């Protein structure tokens, strides 16, 4: 029986290659993800270890309350540093200062990501160099008017040594001369950020206070006990305001953080790999079902000469195991290439993953081989059971006697129950008003998809009849034969179409949600924001309240409304609390007041949105006692109620009410600016000039705000398109496999069609139309399920995002249908050619 299984495996090499391809693509995704994770994890760990190579103890300051000048203050002073240097076993102490600095490139635009724009102090040793930042060119900064920067930062910004560099911290624009370029493997810089190096005194003046530091990094003398040194240094520094950690503990903590970050990305990629394998299951099961149907006489002969049912099952499972092992081994090799490709793509998008050797761990190898083999064997288990039920007497029947169609009643009932529960859960999820209930929607989606997959044979008949009616009308007899071929075996058609359906369901769902979110953003800027510009800071540090007066003085500006964000509890509900100028907010937003008047919003009087007021049971004229951000109780009067507005938020108040105890630290989050003549580059330039052309300040019109807000959504949708494309490719392989084996199964039938006058071109057209009908069945089912799931799941967003409405991307849906047609035509190319080449007489006489 083992020899029989091996012989069957290699009897049809083309069939073997197609089935192997269906398995290896899914396995390649799994192995590629695991190899990528191990490789990047090892590179990050090595980079982290290198940065901590000479760190025996780290003393990190806990920032104290800011001083009136707005600078941070720490307990790590020159005196503390001297006490640490005096501890026995200490070789050197490096006193570090960290801050943020946003650079203006040569063209005036900000450089890098706001969260990754670093500034630090350059600390030259006896040789005049800082070992952390090896010089590439020039020298380190030696005075208040000089700076150095990372070579990558200078290249991105267009600066050369000797140039005057403009940058900002949290205040006005500063200018300094570039005197040196350094190399760094700081992940923030390699991931697209920037690095500026200042002399220590200047860094203290900009970020801390003279004689203060953010961290003391201790290197120990050879032979020093790290644990003992950590205890002695802990005793030497202030008991409060500083955290002392050994180098070993710091390395372990960083390793855990890196592992957590890596795990999140790995889990995401493995999810899509699982989808690819799930799609592969249908193809493998379909392939083995057809193989067993075609080998019924052979299996019956084996049973007649003494093979037991258990041996037949084992024979099929051995065949599946060999297939799975071969496919998994090839998939493992392909996965290594995918791992390198993933890293290259992410780095091309400024991920900044460090270089390192390729890591292929035993876990990745074993997991890939086991996954592919187990999936293949499980997919072949039901077909093997059907093979064992073939009676020996069937050896006496003719080869083209097909098994009687089995009833679908049990399957349909089972699918209806699962699908019904899934649909009910999704309808329930559509009524929920919190994204915290997302797991419920995910469960409902999974149950709905499983139910549809189980019901696919039942659903295939009406859908294939519908598409077949079109092909019959357009292509006559050939189109009708193609429809009948697709209807002949609903299980096979369903399994083939389901592979395409799964990919299109997920792609359609993401497309609808992404399009709906982008439409909501467009409606917000078009209908709720009448201001032409929004001014804010790229690092979210806030704007000096005095700047609103500067913006108001720009020629052409007719109104400026500052927005100062905060929040408070109203009953048990958290609400956004926006401070603004009640006299101008109505000019920059499309506020519709339904009760009271915005003119009455001043002092302890506020305005509420309609939803917030209804939830709290409040109306204009009522009072309510709440705790505001100044940590004091206030008795507020509801002066007005307005229709929900995303820009205004849940509530509006006069600016002084949304403040802290110390006015020095009050910042406005944004300025909304209305102009007399709309938007223009000249007006934007005037606004930027009013703020000193500060690279920290963003002046955005509607389109720029939309792009910034919708950017992450579009990126996520495009990433999902790329990843789920793998499932569509596997579905193409499934259609090819099914058609190729179907042609073999219908050899005599095709010969008869040729004998009664159907030309080779007609045979090709028949196979192509059958493929198109199956592909369109999968597309209609996938797009339909995707639309339903995206509508039900998207409804959950409406509570937190009132403008969100399901908007269908008709262009993309049409594209998906076109892709399904292309899949059908592409998949039919080889089987159609093979069918047309069959010799008429040999086909009729096949046994």
Q: Please determine, for residue 719, whether its predicted confidence score (pLDDT) is greater than 80.
A: no
Task: Please report, for the chain, the start and end positions of each structural domain, with discontinuous segments joined by +.
Answer: 1-57+278-404, 58-256, 458-528+703-847, 533-700
With beta carbons less than 8 A apart as the criterion, state whether 824 and 775 touch: yes
Please, which pLDDT band fits residue 2 given cuts at 50, 70 and 90? Answer: low
What is the C-alpha to C-alpha distance for residues 423 and 420, in angstroms, rounded to an integer?
Answer: 5
Averaged pLDDT, 580-594:
91
- Helical ranges in 529-670 per DSSP H: 547-552, 585-588, 610-616
DSSP state of 403: P
Displacement of CA 565 from its chain's centroid (Å):
28
pLDDT, mean over the chain: 82
Q: Which residues pair with 218 in a beta bridge?
A: 57, 93
- Percent of the chain at pLDDT > 70 equals 86
- Look at 3-17, 340-354, 622-636, 738-752 and tell me which has the smallest mean pLDDT: 3-17
Per-residue pLDDT band for 723 (boundaries 50, 70, 90) equals low
199 - beta bridge partners? 122
**Rounded to whole angstroms, what are the CA distances from 103 to 112, 184, 289, 349, 542?**
8, 17, 64, 20, 17
At 236-276, the pLDDT tens digits run: 888 788 899 888 888 778 777 767 766 776 777 777 777 76
**What is the band of 330 on the pLDDT scale with cuts at 50, 70, 90?**
confident
Predicted confidence (pLDDT) at residue 230 exceeds the cutoff of 60: yes
How far CA 684 is from CA of 533, 555, 677, in Å, comes to 8, 11, 12
Alpha-carbon span 258 to 49, nearest angstrom: 12
Residue 332 has what pLDDT? 86
Q: Which span out of 296-310, 454-468, 481-495 was modeled with the highest average pLDDT?
A: 454-468
Report the 3 state secondary structure along 9-49.
HHHCHHHHHHHHHHHHHHHHHHHHHHHHHHHHHHHHHHHHH
**Sign of the CA dihedral running 410, 413, 416, 421:** negative
Q: Categorize the per-residue pLDDT at 354 as very low, low, confident or very high, splitting at 50, 70 and 90.
A: low
Residue 369 predicted with pLDDT over 80 = yes
Please determine, for residue 306, whether its predicted confidence score (pLDDT) is greater than 80. Answer: no
pLDDT, position 376: 82
**Candidate ranges 65-74, 77-86, 563-572; pick with highest mean pLDDT:** 77-86
Max mean pLDDT among 526-535, 553-562, 698-707 falls in 553-562
Q: Check residue 5 and give its pLDDT.
A: 56
- How far is the C-alpha of 781 from the C-alpha of 775, rounded, in Å? 10
What's the confidence (pLDDT) of residue 528? Answer: 85
Distance CA 692, CA 557 (A): 17
**What's the pLDDT band for 399 if we cut at 50, 70, 90?**
very low
Q: What is the mean pLDDT of residues 164-189?
A: 86
Q: Distance (Å, rounded) from C-alpha 43 to C-alpha 642?
A: 54
| Whether 169 contacts 117, CB under 8 Å | no
pLDDT above 70 for 635: yes
Q: 404 pLDDT exceeds 60? A: no
Structure tokens at 398: 């003719």
Helix ranges restricted to H, 640-758: 681-690, 702-745, 747-755
* pLDDT of amino acid 136: 93
Q: Length of the chain, please?
A: 847
Nearest C-alpha neighbor of 515 from the set 815, 731, 782, 776 = 815
Q: And the tokens for 88?
A: 């026995």
What pLDDT shows up at residue 96? 93
At residue 431, the pLDDT reads 80
* pLDDT, tens only, 187-215: 677 767 789 999 999 999 999 989 999 99
Residue 350 pLDDT? 59
pLDDT at 843 over 70: no
Q: How far apart are CA 547 and CA 686, in angstroms?
A: 14
The residues facing 242 across adjacent strands are: 61
Q: What's the pLDDT score for residue 85?
A: 92
Element (H, E) at 417: helix 409-431
For residue 417, what pLDDT band results from cuts at 50, 70 and 90?
very high
């Amino acid at each position: 029986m083992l020899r029989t299984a091996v012989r069957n495996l290699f009897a049809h090499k083309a069939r073997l290659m197609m089935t192997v391809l269906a398995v290896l693509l899914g396995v390649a995704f799994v192995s590629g993800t695991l190899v990528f994770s191990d490789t990047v994890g090892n590179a990050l760990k090595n980079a982290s270890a290198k940065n901590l190579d000479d760190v025996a103890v780290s003393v990190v300051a806990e920032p104290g309350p800011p001083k009136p000048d707005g600078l941070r203050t720490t307990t790590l002073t020159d005196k503390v540093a001297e006490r640490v240097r005096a501890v026995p076993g200490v070789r050197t102490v490096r006193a570090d200062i960290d801050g943020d600095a946003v650079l203006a490139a040569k063209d005036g635009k900000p450089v890098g990501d706001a969260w990754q724009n670093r500034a630090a102090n350059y600390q030259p040793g006896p040789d005049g160099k800082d070992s952390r930042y090896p010089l590439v060119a020039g020298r380190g900064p030696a005075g208040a008017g000089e700076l150095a920067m990372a070579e990558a930062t200078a290249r991105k910004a267009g600066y050369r040594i000797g140039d005057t560099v403009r940058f900002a911290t949290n205040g006005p624009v500063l200018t300094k001369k570039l005197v040196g370029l350094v190399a760094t493997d700081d992940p923030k810089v390699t991931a697209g950020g920037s690095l500026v190096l200042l002399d220590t005194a200047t860094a203290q003046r900009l970020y801390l206070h003279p004689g203060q530091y953010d961290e003391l990094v201790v290197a120990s003398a050879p032979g020093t006990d790290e644990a003992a040194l950590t205890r002695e240094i802990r005793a030497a520094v202030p008991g409060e305001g500083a955290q002392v950690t050994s180098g070993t503990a710091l390395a372990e903590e960083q390793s855990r953080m890196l592992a957590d970050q890596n795990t999140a990305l790995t889990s995401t990629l493995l999810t899509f790999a699982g989808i690819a394998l799930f799609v592969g299951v249908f193809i493998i099961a379909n392939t083995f079902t057809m193989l067993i149907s075609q080998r019924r006489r052979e299996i019956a002969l084996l049973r007649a000469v003494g093979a037991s049912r258990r041996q037949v099952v084992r024979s099929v499972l051995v065949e599946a195991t060999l297939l799975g092992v071969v496919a998994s081994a090839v998939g493992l090799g392909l996965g290594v290439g995918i791992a390198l490709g993933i890293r290259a793509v992410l780095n091309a998008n400024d991920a900044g993953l460090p270089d390192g050797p390729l890591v292929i761990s035993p876990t990745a190898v074993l997991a890939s081989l086991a996954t592919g083999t187990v999936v293949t064997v499980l997919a072949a288990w039901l077909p093997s059971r059907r093979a064992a039920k073939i009676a020996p007497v069937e050896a006496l029947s003719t080869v083209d006697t097909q098994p009687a169609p089995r009833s679908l009643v049990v399957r349909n009932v089972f699918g209806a129950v699962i699908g019904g529960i899934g649909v009910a859960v999704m309808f329930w999820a559509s009524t929920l008003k919190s994204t915290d209930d997302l797991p419920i929607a995910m469960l409902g989606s999974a149950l709905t998809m499983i139910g549809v997959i189980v019901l696919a044979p039942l659903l295939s008949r009406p859908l294939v009849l519908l598409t077949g009616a079109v092909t019959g009308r357009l292509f006559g007899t050939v189109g009708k034969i193609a429809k009948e071929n697709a209807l002949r075996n609903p299980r096979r058609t369903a399994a083939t179409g389901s592979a395409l359906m799964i990919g299109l369901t997920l792609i359609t769902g993401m497309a609808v949600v992404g399009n709906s979110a982008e439409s909501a953003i467009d409606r917000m800027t078009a209908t709720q924001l009448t201001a032409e510009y929004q001014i804010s800071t790229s690092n979210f540090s806030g704007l000096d309240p005095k700047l609103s007066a500067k913006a108001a003085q720009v020629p052409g500006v007719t109104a400026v409304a500052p927005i100062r964000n905060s929040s408070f509890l109203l009953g048990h509900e958290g609400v956004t609390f926006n401070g603004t100028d009640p006299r101008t907010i109505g000019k920059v937003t499309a506020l519709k007041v339904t009760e009271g008047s915005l003119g009455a919003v001043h002092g302890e009087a506020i305005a509420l949105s309609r939803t917030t007021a209804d939830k709290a049971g409040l109306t204009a004229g009522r009072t309510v006692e709440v705790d505001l951000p100044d940590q004091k109780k206030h008795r507020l009067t509801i002066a007005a109620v307005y229709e929900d507005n995303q820009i205004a938020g849940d509530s509006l108040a006069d600016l002084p009410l949304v403040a802290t105890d110390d006015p020095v630290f009050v910042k406005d989050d944004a300025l909304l600016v209305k102009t007399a003549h709309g938007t223009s580059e000249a007006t934007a330039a005037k606004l930027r000039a009013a703020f000193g052309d500060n690279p920290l300040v963003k002046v955005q019109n509607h389109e720029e705000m939309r792009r910034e807000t919708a950017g992450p959504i579009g990126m996520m949708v495009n990433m999902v398109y790329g990843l789920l494309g793998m499932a569509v490719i596997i579905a193409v392989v499934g259609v090819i496999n099914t058609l190729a084996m179907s042609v073999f199964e219908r050899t005599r039938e095709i010969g008869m069609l040729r004998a009664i006058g159907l030309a080779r071109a007609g045979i090709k057209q028949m196979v192509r139309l059958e493929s198109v009908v199956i592909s369109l069945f999968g597309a209609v089912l996938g797009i339909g399920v995707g639309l339903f799931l995206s509508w039900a799941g998207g409804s959950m967003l409406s509570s937190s995002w009132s403008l969100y409405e399901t908007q269908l991307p008709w262009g993309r849906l049409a594209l998906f249908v076109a892709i399904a047609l292309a899949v059908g035509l592409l998949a039919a190319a080889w089987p159609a050619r093979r069918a047309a080449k069959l010799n008429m007489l040999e086909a009729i006489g096949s046994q």
